[in-house]
Amino acid sequence: MPAVLYEKKGHAAYVTINRPEAMNALNQDVQNTLRKIWEEIETDDDVFLAILTGSGQKAFSAGADLKEGESGHRKEDFLYMRGFLPKGPAAREVSKPIIAAIQGYCLAGGLELALACDIRIAADTAVFGCPEPRWSLLHGYGALVMPWTVHLSNVMDLLLTGRRIDAQEALRVGLVSRVVPVAKLMPTVDEIVSQILQAAPLAIKATKELARMRERDGIEPALRAYYSYRALLHHSQDYKEGSTAFKEKRTPAFKSR
């Protein structure tokens, strides 16, 4: 089965992360496939918007597949940090609206992927969290863009504690725009799709650009700072301890070195 499913229904593109056996974790295959799909959506004049979800009921996505390891990405990250390699177009760079339909776990890189979408609709089963610091990792993109959506105090609560919150708390802090029973998740998303498709596509694209302009203007320098911090972290003893502890399913013993 493909790692990501892609289906067009009229002017809407439905994108489904298809690794339910791994909580839809974002391995390299998923990430490469998603990038190609975002490129196709961006250039396909017959697609006016996209819907992103995860296969099965357990997870939208539990984040990066840490079992696969991150060492293969370090060269790419370094080149991007130095300005030699573009990182995209990713979901955040698509000019057309993207709706995230979230049920189950939406954690770490999965939450960052949801944050790159324009509208987030959550089932009442959804669970959100940023557990990366518990393993000496960074919730980098999320830390950069979440303050545009969520009050900074709530952002810090999520980022620094690594705790998980349910859909109702996510709605309270502004992380999602609606919470619905799980059986009504896709019908609600389809209703929003229908409403957006009643508007002129060019007007929708221009509106999205205006709404995200301030964020876009500041994101590239901030992303380069994130990759700089991540490169430093990768050379720390705590990073090695966090990676080992995750694989051994134990609590890390960090030493701030």
Q: Does 169 qualify as catalytic in the annotation?
A: no
Q: Does 132 qualify as catalytic in the annotation?
A: yes
Strands (E), the chain: 4-9, 12-17, 49-54, 59-61, 98-102, 105-107, 119-123, 127-129, 164-166, 178-180
Q: What is the DSSP letter of 64?
A: B
Q: How many CB atoms lie within 10 A of CB 164?
A: 15
Catalytic residue, candidates 132, 191, 209, 215: 132
Q: Is 221:202 a contact under the CB 8 Å cutoff?
A: no
User: CA-CA distance, 152 to 164, in Å (whole number)?
Assistant: 17
User: CA-CA distance, 89 to 222, in Å (whole number)?
Assistant: 17
User: CA-CA distance, 205 to 94, in Å (whole number)?
Assistant: 9
User: CA-CA distance, 77 to 86, in Å (whole number)?
Assistant: 10
Q: How many CB atoms lie within 10 A of CB 216?
A: 12
Catalytic residue, candidates 42, 68, 112, 191: 112
Q: Is 67:32 a contact under the CB 8 Å cutoff?
A: no
Using alpha carbons only, what angle is made at residue 67 by residues 66 and 69, rounded to the nearest 5 degrees? Answer: 65
Per-residue exposure over 132-141, b if at least 16 CB sit within 10 Å of its own CB, e if not: bbbbbbbbbb
Give the active site residues: 112, 132
